DNA sequence: CCACTCTGAATTGTATGAAATATACCGTAC
DNA sequence: GTACGGTATATTTCATACAATTCAGAGTGG
């Protein structure tokens, strides 16, 4: 089965081994990963020639990848002027959090009603998070594991569109988290939050799963906004244009 | 302000006059319009060379447009095998309706809380629909006008992400409607539905706007599913591969 | 009669060069 | 000193040539 062109989540991008057969796909995967992890910083100008050299491909497949990313809202693309990594604005983060509040809680409710026993088992495996404060490596593992849990939960809604919406949101929301932004992360608390939602799913209590999810997302949003507010002024949100 | 690369709704595609400066944008607009209106039928194979001749451009910008459409889920793209207009499946329609139920009702609630007086005026202008049964031309006008109202309502949520999600859904849901599918359309009933939602928005009653929206969407979904069920077997959903 | 391989045509994937456009810089006039 | 205009450069955009892959069908052997 050939690899179809669809958005790939950060999780998938990281799991994936062999180079996809089409160079466009590889360029898309590499760039998306770099953008979501802020290795390519928000606001950074992107030059075709440089990226080609870096990835080791020619301009045609690179441009096709950039077009996909443009449609996805990860790079801004102005004809005849060039590309830049889409800046992260406060307003956009607020919008994403509000949308997440709406769709992820409803996804949790559907998941509670529709998840198969196998899916519940898999959720249980992913629920536990570990994190050693101060260690960058485990921090990134934490972020990935947390996303993986929420993605699988969305998948359990058995609604592909709903899942895609949630996955896209989670991906985009990774960027502020990778910006050095240390909100007081607590692996045990996060694990506990996963556990109570999971319990509601096990009991097929959609109402409760949705309510818990809403509480947790409001919580997460407030922590993020607080951290951002304290960082305001420091040019985290939008780098100037250094290479 | 240069035209940025972002998804364009069917409404915009139709309103737009002058050819966009970038050929990629033009190809994207033309193809998307043809796909959403089912002038390019679901399942139809797409050949680069033919499309180039038809649009009058070369393969490079065309391929960039096809990549965007692939990411958007409007064409399926398998490396070295080609493109085809994404088929419309029952499951996908169900998923989209469910997601619409979730996001559009919440968008209506936010719109009730946040719409400006000017926006309410504009909504009022768009609320009324006209439709002469049996006339294809007015049928398509009806579809566009109805989408325009729902899009503006989503816009009034003042949440760009939420709006984008709704717009994308409305666009994708145009396809089954253009497939000849005549659900018992009633312009007066639809106008009445718009009016009651609009009244809730005027009164800033978010709860009520959301509830009305949910009722109307469930209604619309049932009408659509019924019409589809009666058409089942006739190859509406997925054309064979005639040009 | 079936299965298999090989060959050719059709189609997509990739690279590269030429044209179009925007931006920055410098000089000049006021 | 400032504003304006022109030129040079950098960058994107587009078209085309070439390479890689798939698919269909003929031919061959079992």
pLDDT in tens, B87-138: 999 999 999 999 999 999 999 999 999 999 999 999 999 998 888 777 778 8
- List CB contacts (< 8 A) between A171 and chain B: none
H/E element holding A77? strand A75-78
Please judge whether B160 and A95 are an interchain contact, meaning their C-beta atoms are less than 8 angstroms apart. Answer: yes
Condensed to tens digits (0 to 9), the pLDDT of residues B156-181 reads 999 999 999 999 999 999 999 998 66
Whether the predicted pLDDT of A41 surpasses 80: yes
CA distance A26 to chain B (A): 12
The shortest CB-CB distance from A67 to any of B64, B73, B159 is to B64
Quick one: average pLDDT of A100-114? Answer: 98
Quick one: average pLDDT of B22-42? Answer: 96
- Taken in order A183, A189, A192, A197, is the CA torsion positive or negative? negative
Quick one: average pLDDT of A129-153? Answer: 88
**pLDDT for the residue numbered B107:** 98
Protein residues with Cβ atoms closer than 7 angstroms to any atom of nucleic acid strand C: A 22-24, 57-61, 80-81; B 21, 46-49, 59-60, 63, 77, 79-83
Quick one: average pLDDT of A97-109? Answer: 98
Please judge whether A162 and B98 are an interchain contact, meaning their C-beta atoms are less than 8 angstroms apart. Answer: yes
The larger pLDDT score, comparing residue B122 to residue B139, is at B122
Name which of A9, A65, A71 to mutate to probe chain B: the one with the most chain B Cβ atoms within 10 A of its Cβ. Answer: A71
User: For residues B222 and B212, what is the distance between their CA atoms, to the nearest angstrom?
Assistant: 16
The pLDDT confidence band at residue B186, using thresholds 50, 70 and 90, is: confident
User: For residues B200 and B208, what is the distance between their CA atoms, to the nearest angstrom?
Assistant: 6
Q: CA at B187, C1' at D3: how many angstroms apart?
A: 60
Condensed to tens digits (0 to 9), the pLDDT of residues B200-243 reads 999 999 999 999 999 999 999 998 888 887 776 455 565 443 43
Q: CA at A243, C1' at C28: how many angstroms apart?
A: 35
**pLDDT for the residue numbered A17:** 45
Q: Give the least confident one: A64-68, B50-54, B131-135.
A: B131-135
Please judge whether A22 and B63 are an interchain contact, meaning their C-beta atoms are less than 8 angstroms apart. Answer: no
Protein residues with Cβ atoms closer than 7 angstroms to any atom of nucleic acid strand D: A 46-49, 59-60, 63, 77-83; B 22-24, 57-61, 80-81
Condensed to tens digits (0 to 9), the pLDDT of residues A175-191 reads 999 986 666 778 888 89
Nucleotide nearest to A59 (CA to C1'): C15
Name which of A74, A161, A163, A221 to mutate to probe chain B: the one with the most chain B Cβ atoms within 10 A of its Cβ. Answer: A161
CA distance B79 to chain A (A): 7
Nearest Cα to A154, choosing from A202, A214, A106? A106
User: For residues B219 and A39, what is the distance between their CA atoms, to the nearest angstrom?
Assistant: 47
User: For residues A125 and A117, what is the distance between their CA atoms, to the nearest angstrom?
Assistant: 13
SS3 A179: coil
Please judge whether B21 and A60 are an interchain contact, meaning their C-beta atoms are less than 8 angstroms apart. Answer: no
What are A205's two structure tokens? 């209590």
User: For residues A231 and A236, what is the distance between their CA atoms, to the nearest angstrom?
Assistant: 7
H/E element holding A83? strand A82-85
Give B98's contacts (C-beta < 8 A, 6+ positions apart): A110, A159, A161, A162
CA distance B6 to chain A (A): 5
């Amino acid at each position: 089965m050939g690899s179809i062109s669809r958005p790939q989540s950060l999780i998938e991008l990281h799991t994936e081994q062999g180079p996809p057969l089409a160079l466009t796909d590889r360029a898309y995967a590499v760039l998306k990963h770099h953008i979501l992890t802020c290795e390519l910083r928000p606001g950074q100008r992107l030059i075709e020639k440089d990226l080609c050299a870096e990835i080791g491909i020619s301009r045609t497949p690179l441009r096709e990848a950039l077009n996909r990313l443009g449609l996805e809202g990860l790079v801004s693309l102005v004809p005849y002027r060039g590309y830049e990594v889409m800046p992260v604005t406060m307003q956009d983060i607020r919008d994403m959090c509000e949308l997440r509040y709406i769709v992820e809680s409803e996804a949790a409710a559907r998941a509670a009603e529709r998840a198969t026993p196998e899916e519940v088992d898999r959720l249980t495996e992913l629920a536990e998070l570990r994190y050693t404060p101060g260690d960058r490596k485990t921090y990134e593992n934490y972020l990935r594991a947390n996303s993986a849990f929420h993605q699988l939960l969305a998948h359990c809604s058995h609604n592909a569109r709903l899942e895609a919406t949630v996955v896209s949101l989670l991906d985009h929301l990774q960027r502020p988290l990778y910006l050095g932004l240390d909100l007081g992360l607590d692996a045990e608390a996060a694990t506990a939050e996963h556990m109570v939602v999971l319990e509601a799913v096990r009991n097929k209590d959609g109402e409760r799963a949705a309510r818990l999810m809403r509480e947790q997302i409001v919580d997460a949003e407030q922590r993020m906004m607080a951290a951002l507010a304290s960082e305001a002024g420091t040019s985290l949100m939008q780098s100037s244009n250094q290479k």
